[in-house]
Amino acid sequence: MRFVVVSDSHGDREILVQLVAHYQDQAVTMLHCGDSELATDDPLFTHMTVVQGNMDFNGQFPAKTTFSVDNQRVFLTHGHLYGVNTDLTHLLLAAQEVHANLACYGHTHQLDCEMHAGVLLLNPGSIAQPRGPFRNLKGTYAVIDVTPDQYHVQYYNRQFIPVSQLQLTFQRT
């Protein structure tokens, strides 16, 4: 199972078009963690699950969503409603409440990936306006490959090239 996770594209529709085209022939589940700043009826969103960010002013995307794919319970949100700028406690609790083992979020524009109490918490960073120590990459997204025993996380830049120092593996519990 493979998830492609992107966030905070802030109106950069072209990078999302390229991302969908890049993965169109692969069996992936595409997730957008909010702040697309695009219309909810944009045809791109037939290819991905999207949530409302604090800069998505149309109010038509859900604030959060939970779904299952091949025994993976996914909790998807933007993060601003869970205080992710401060810590991940509220996000973790929300994911645990819905029995998710994968929680994806955005908002901070900084990539992050941590395992807490059997829940993988992942922020792909911003594909359009990155912040933090990896802002020199000019934008990132993440790919999560799930095996029966592990989560393999690889971050990529806007040119779809893996960032070698941003590869992580976590044991599934």
How do the domains of the chain map onto residue ranges? 2-171
105 burial type by CB count under 10 A (0-12 exposed, 13-18 middle, 19+ buried): buried
Q: Which residues contact 21 (CB under 8 A, 6 or more apart)?
A: none
pLDDT given for residue 40 in this prediction: 92
Strands 29-32 and 48-50: parallel
- The DSSP secondary-structure symbol of 1 reads -
Q: Which tens digits make up the pLDDT trace of 76-129?
A: 999 999 999 999 999 999 999 999 999 999 999 999 999 999 999 999 999 999
Do 24 and 7 touch, CB atoms closer than 8 A? no
Using 50, 70 and 90 to split pLDDT, how confident is the model at 141? very high
Average pLDDT, the chain: 96
Alpha-carbon distance values, 116 to 37, 67, 100, 102, 155 (Å): 31, 20, 12, 10, 20
Predicted TM-score of the model (pTM): 0.96
- The CATH superfamily of 2-171 is Metallo-dependent phosphatases (3.60.21.10)
Using 50, 70 and 90 to split pLDDT, how confident is the model at 52? very high
164 burial type by CB count under 10 A (0-12 exposed, 13-18 middle, 19+ buried): exposed
Using 50, 70 and 90 to split pLDDT, how confident is the model at 154? very high
With a pLDDT cut of 90, the percent of the chain lying above it is 96
Do 36 and 9 touch, CB atoms closer than 8 A? yes
pLDDT given for residue 57 in this prediction: 86
Do 85 and 107 touch, CB atoms closer than 8 A? yes
